[in-house]
Chains A and B, each alone.
Chain A
Amino acid sequence: MSHPSSYEPTNGFSKWLDKRLPVLRMMHGQFVEFPTPRNLNYLWTFGAILSFCLVVQLITGIVLAMHYIPSGDHAFESIEHLMRDVNWGWLMRYSHAVGASMFFVAVYVHMARGLYYGSYKDPREVLWILGVLIFLLMMATAFMGYSLPWGQMSFWAVTVITNLFSSFDAILPGAGTAIVRWIWGGYSVSETTLNRLFSLHYLLPFILVGVVALHIWALHVVGSNNPAGVEIKSSSDSVSFHPYITMKDGFAMSLFWVAFAWLIFFAPNYLGHADNYIEANPLQTPPHIVPEWYFLPQYAILRAVPDKLMGVIAMFGSIVVLFFVPWLDTARTKSAKYRPIFKWFFWLFMFTCIALGYLGAKPAEGSYLLWSRIFTAYYFIHFLIIMPIVGVMETPKKLPNSITDDVLGKSGSSAATSATGGGETAPAAPENR
């Protein structure tokens, strides 16, 4: 958000630098005095938590790569060597493995918050789209990282997921097979495949850093959404980023770190699969293969559809549909707090996601399969039918006139304001600061 800078260089060096590269002025503007809605709740701390997760993954990952050998014969062995012989190797690896799970916990909370409070709506569409892109990159990175220990689950996850592309054979015979061989670099998943997955697993996080920078840039252009879903109108609606938000983020991060540390030190393998401690064997598929917990809902959608190509399309479609959410939701009121009907559909949708996660871990047969189909259908119905229709039909509750009124507990008094969804037509311009 543009606002006049109160930055005053205090010493000779910062004055000299400010005339040449005003980076300190920029940091001061964006991370010290940046005006932030004063009514943010703890769900808004997950952005900072996610940045923290990314940094943890980068640092531990760079360390792991110093000891890891991306070779069919040595990958599994080098992980065991890391765990047993390298000083603190177990800590680095468990932090990285648990870190991936914690990263997804945080991103799912962050996304659910965005969906509940309408953080994807005008003017935050680009911010949201960049977020979905980050989610896709995270999924690709996590999948590639999971292949590297070269255990049974790694090997068969790569086999099954890369084989998804063979479904294109149903469109153009031979095309799918050609793509899969190109990805494998051979006629089956092999050391060649492992090497390229390692290369890309090292590359993607840095691309992720770039997209995250764009995401934060887009956030700082339009400003944070907030639980009331009305924009900042006057200086009394906002607080400066530092110390108010930095402290709150810091406190939430500490609590998150407690859970993170508990998993690392007391249950490091709780979220993994024992089968991945068996070295990859191309001649034997484990009897029950499932992805890591964070991909279970998508996996349930894949298996719910009886046709191979359509299953793949449905699975990717479940992510792609998120890109269109800013336009699928026709309501002008942002926050579900003020949307009496949509609110219930939101919770039904949350239940659907959790149910799909549960079903993804179960064998695809009998009533599990039936329920997978029902919830898969509802997943898409929520976005493609409920969102556009409820947005038009529903009468929202009265919005508070301003963030200040929301905090002070005054209910909305102006019908005109709520009719225009809280005056969002002129968003984010706190000129009076």
Chain B
Amino acid sequence: MANDTTETLDPNRREFVMVAAGAFAGIGGAASLWPLIDQMNPDASAEALASIEVDLAPVEEGQAITVLWRGKPVFIRNRTDAEVKASTSVKMTDLPDPDARNEVLPGDAPATDVNRTKEGHEKWLIIVGICTHLGCIPKGQGLTDNKGEFGGWFCPCHGSHYDTAGRIRKGPAPRNLDVPPYKFISDNKIVIG
């Protein structure tokens, strides 16, 4: 009989078929999990909202506005000379997080004031207004808000203090506030994203 002959000729043949079939079914089963997992990732419409234009003209010196980008608040502050000076005079060794956290710069760029703003537009600080600890919105945008010990922002949830360049100075937050990707399309217009 053909079957017997085959097994006599190659006793490993059946085992190979078993392993191959099992592996095929296993890989197929695992692969079919991916769509079920990936459907939870941000969808096309969430990605599509990824860029906005903001007019800076109405923001006076010393004022701040909050805009919504990708569902997140973005803080835009027109800093006073004193605030810029307070930020530039900080020694790098005083910073808990020494990295610039600026999406357009390399990861190891130092967190200098220059690296967290745009050249020629140093008075404008544009940062994502989400505390890097557990995602609360820090206070400091309103004129009467508690701005923390360093004159920038203060997160009421767990007590993180940020300075006038949005850098973490005190409290549990691990990182400086993120600088989103943006560019100036004219002297007082920016595109975020």
Contact = CB atoms under 8 A, between A and B. Distances in A.
Interface of A: 156, 159-160, 162-164, 166, 170, 181-190, 192, 196, 282-285, 287-289, 303, 306-308, 311, 363-365
B137 A284 contact: yes
A187 B68 contact: no
A346 to B, nearest CB: 32
Given A187-B46, A285-B136, 12 more contacts: A159-B134, A160-B136, A164-B134, A182-B40, A185-B40, A187-B71, A188-B71, A188-B72, A282-B72, A283-B66, A308-B133, A308-B172
A154 to B, nearest CB: 14
B42 interface: yes
24 contacts: A163-B134, A166-B135, A170-B174, A181-B41, A184-B42, A185-B40, A185-B41, A185-B46, A187-B42, A187-B70, A187-B72, A188-B72, A190-B71, A192-B43, A282-B68, A282-B71, A285-B137, A285-B156, A289-B136, A306-B172, A307-B172, A311-B172, A364-B158, A365-B159
B159 A159 contact: no
Given A159-B136, A185-B41, A303 B66 contact: no
A156 B72 CA distance: 13
Nearest to B173: A308
Contacts of A159: 134-136
Contacts of A307: 172
B19 to A, nearest CB: 33
A365 B171 CA distance: 10
Interface string B138-162: 0000000000000000011111000
Contacts of A181: 41-42
Interface in B36-72: 37, 40-43, 46, 66, 68, 70-72
Contact of B73 (A156, A185, A282, A363): A282
A287 B46 CA distance: 29
Nearest to A290: B157
Nearest to B50: A187
A288 B172 contact: no
A185 B37 CA distance: 11
Interface string B149-193: 000000111110000000000001110000000000000000000
Nearest to A188: B71
A364 B159 contact: yes
Interface size class of B (residues with CB under 8 A): 20 to 34
**Interface residues of B, dominant DSSP:** loop
Contacts of A185: 40-43, 46
A285 B40 contact: no
A186 B71 contact: yes
Contacts of B72: 187-188, 282
Nearest to B42: A186
A184 B173 CA distance: 21
Nearest to B66: A283
A184 B71 CA distance: 11
A156 B172 contact: no
A181 B66 CA distance: 22
A61 to B, nearest CB: 23
A302 to B, nearest CB: 9
A364 B171 CA distance: 11
Contact of A182 (B41, B66, B73, B155): B41
Contacts of A183: 40
Contacts of A190: 46, 71
A192 B43 CA distance: 10
Contacts of B133: 163, 308
A186 B137 contact: no
Nearest to B67: A283
A195 B66 CA distance: 27
Nearest 8 interchain pairs by C-beta? A188-B71, A187-B70, A163-B135, A285-B136, A186-B46, A163-B134, A160-B134, A285-B137
In the complex, which of the residues B46, B66, B133, B135 has the most CB atoms of chain A within 10 Å of its own CB atom? B135
A156 to B, nearest CB: 7
Contacts of A287: 156
Contacts of A170: 174
In the complex, which of the residues A156, A160, A188 has the most CB atoms of chain B within 10 Å of its own CB atom? A188
Nearest to A191: B71
Contacts of A288: 156
A307 B172 CA distance: 7
Contacts of A188: 70-72
Nearest to A167: B174
Contacts of A289: 136, 157
Contacts of A308: 133-134, 172-174
Interface string B88-130: 0000000000000000000000000000000000000000000
A417 B110 CA distance: 71
Contacts of B68: 282-283
Contacts of B41: 181-182, 185
A181 B157 CA distance: 21
Contacts of A282: 68, 71-73
B134 A186 contact: no
Contacts of A166: 135
In the complex, which of the residues A183, A184, A285 has the most CB atoms of chain B within 10 Å of its own CB atom? A285
Nearest to B39: A185
A299 to B, nearest CB: 11
A229 to B, nearest CB: 43
Interface in B66-89: 66, 68, 70-73
B58 to A, nearest CB: 18
